[in-house]
């Protein structure tokens, strides 16, 4: 289940300040409230309203309706500093089109929609971080922006929020964010400099052949044969065109063709995804796939259309901000074994767009607890996490603010 051999190292209770520990009931209550009313990308109206209601109650300045349903809260520190800086904290809000299979009191009340990736926890952590900072403004200098972002799962809310100006007025100097992570056990924190998560690119290949009778193939151009050759050839891209030191994936996830046993298909459609860490490969895969498909189709007498979408770039963490987060993480976990540097994943995240604009660090907060059956993978109908991790997330964010802004 876990992507690391690191043992479960519970967070030492004395490492989380009592004022943050006291927020744990509120963290759980708000997370469960959000969990029961999950909403898909750019439809997070109830979620945004719940966040805005709390921010208003706590008299925290905020802007609503940013990139449709996004919210930006602003907490001004009162501590003096030679150079005032602005640190942003980002949390995603959207859920997934999955029917929840958990039998819990806070189960999703919406058919076919659930928080199966921990975004409800991200919202709770960010919101309670905003509350804590608003109550302790004398402890830090500068400005903290809390960005509640819609549509991470798709079609992507980071770029629209950036275009709406969330990184300006005042300019953000650095940004951090976390992902509750069931690939790491509770009590561990995954932090690494450089590439953390992969670029996400999607392709659709529509092949046009010439159909006919299954017993008379000489009169046809078999789209299934053409498509099969393409599937096989695409697997050679990573094996023979990519430096073995670079990790990459080309996956064909769908192959649709044919209507009957004795009919040669005239069309076939393939869809798939490309993943990689190295930003230098940003233009490589589209060109290489197009070249391969063009060659095979030409050799077989078929034609094609390639639709290629570059969804998210890779998540690249800044070394200096990563060192800051790593220092905080090392202070919080009981032993150094709890800080896991080898935590890359070929999963993608549109946090990457923020990290392209300003230096920052995105990290994983271990949240799996097999002893409580809280270790199902992300995007699984029975996904859930150990809520003990929520207060740890607040503590990490608060310490990062204090270290960076001071």
- Is residue 56 within 8 A of residue 168, CB to CB? The reply is no
- Is residue 105 within 8 A of residue 23, CB to CB? The reply is no
Tell me how far apart the alpha carbons of residues 139 and 297 are, in angstroms, rounded to a whole number: 65
Tell me how far apart the alpha carbons of residues 325 and 191 are, in angstroms, rounded to a whole number: 7
Residue 331 annotated as catalytic: no
Taking the CA of residue 338 as centre, how many other CA atoms within 13 Å lie in the half-sphere pointing to its CB? 22
Residue 152 annotated as catalytic: yes
Catalytic option among 44, 92, 94, 100: 94
Helices (H), 200-350: 223-236, 284-300, 319-332
Catalytic option among 100, 152, 349, 384: 152
124 contacts: CB under 8 Å, gap ≥ 6: 27, 28, 30, 31, 34, 390
Residue 257: helix, strand or coil by DSSP?
A: strand
Of the candidates 123, 63, 84, 133, the one whose C-alpha atom is nearest the C-alpha of residue 400 is 133
Rg (CA), the chain: 24
Tell me how far apart the alpha carbons of residues 182 and 13 are, in angstroms, rounded to a whole number: 21
Angle at 146 (CA atoms; ends 142, 150), nearest 5 degrees:
155
Q: Residue 84: how many CB atoms within 10 A of its CB? A: 15
Angle at 347 (CA atoms; ends 341, 352), nearest 5 degrees:
80
Residue 202: helix, strand or coil by DSSP?
A: strand
Residue 236: helix, strand or coil by DSSP?
A: helix
**174-185 and 360-368: which strand pairing?**
parallel
Of the candidates 106, 91, 74, 65, the one whose C-alpha atom is nearest the C-alpha of residue 351 is 91
Active site residues: 94, 152
């Amino acid at each position: 289940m876990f992507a690391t051999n690191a043992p479960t190292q519970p967070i030492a209770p004395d490492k989380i300040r009592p004022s943050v520990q006291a927020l744990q009931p509120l963290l759980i209550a708000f997370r469960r409230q959000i969990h029961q009313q999950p909403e898909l990308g750019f439809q997070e109206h109830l979620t945004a309203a719940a966040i805005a209601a709390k921010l208003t109650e706590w008299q925290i300045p905020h802007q609503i309706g940013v990139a449709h349903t996004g919210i930006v809260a602003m907490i001004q520190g009162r501590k003096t500093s030679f150079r005032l800086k602005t640190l942003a904290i980002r949390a995603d809000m959207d859920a997934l089109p999955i029917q929840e299979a958990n039998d819990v009191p806070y189960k999703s009340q919406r058919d076919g929609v659930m928080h199966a990736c921990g975004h409800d926890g991200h919202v709770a952590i960010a919101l309670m971080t905003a509350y804590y900072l608003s109550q302790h403004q004398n402890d830090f200098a500068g400005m903290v922006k809390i960005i509640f972002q819609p549509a991470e799962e798709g079609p992507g809310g980071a770029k629209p929020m950036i275009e709406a100006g969330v990184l300006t007025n005042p300019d953000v100097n650095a940004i951090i964010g976390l992902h509750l992570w069931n690939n790491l056990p509770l009590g561990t924190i995954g932090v690494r400099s450089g590439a953390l998560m992969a670029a996400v690119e999607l392709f659709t290949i529509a092949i046009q052949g010439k159909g006919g009778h299954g017993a008379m193939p000489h009169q046809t151009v078999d789209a299934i044969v053409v498509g099969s050759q393409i599937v096989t050839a695409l697997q050679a891209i990573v094996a023979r065109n990519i430096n073995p030191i670079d990790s990459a994936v080309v996956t064909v996830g769908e192959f649709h063709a044919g209507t009957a046993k004795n009919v040669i298909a005239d069309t076939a459609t393939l869809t798939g995804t490309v993943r990689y860490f190295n930003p230098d490969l940003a233009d490589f895969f589209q060109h290489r796939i197009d070249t391969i498909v063009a060659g095979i189709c030409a050799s077989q007498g078929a034609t094609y259309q390639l639709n290629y979408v570059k969804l998210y770039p890779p998540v690249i963490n800044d070394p200096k901000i990563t060192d800051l987060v790593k220092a905080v993480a090392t202070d919080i976990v009981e032993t150094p074994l709890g800080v896991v540097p080898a935590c890359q994943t070929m999963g993608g995240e549109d946090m990457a767009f923020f990290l392209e604009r300003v230096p920052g660090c995105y990290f994983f907060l271990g949240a799996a607890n097999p002893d409580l059956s809280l270790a199902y993978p992300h995007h699984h109908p029975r996904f859930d996490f150990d809520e003990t991790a929520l207060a740890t997330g607040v503590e990490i964010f608060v310490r990062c603010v204090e270290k960076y802004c001071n």
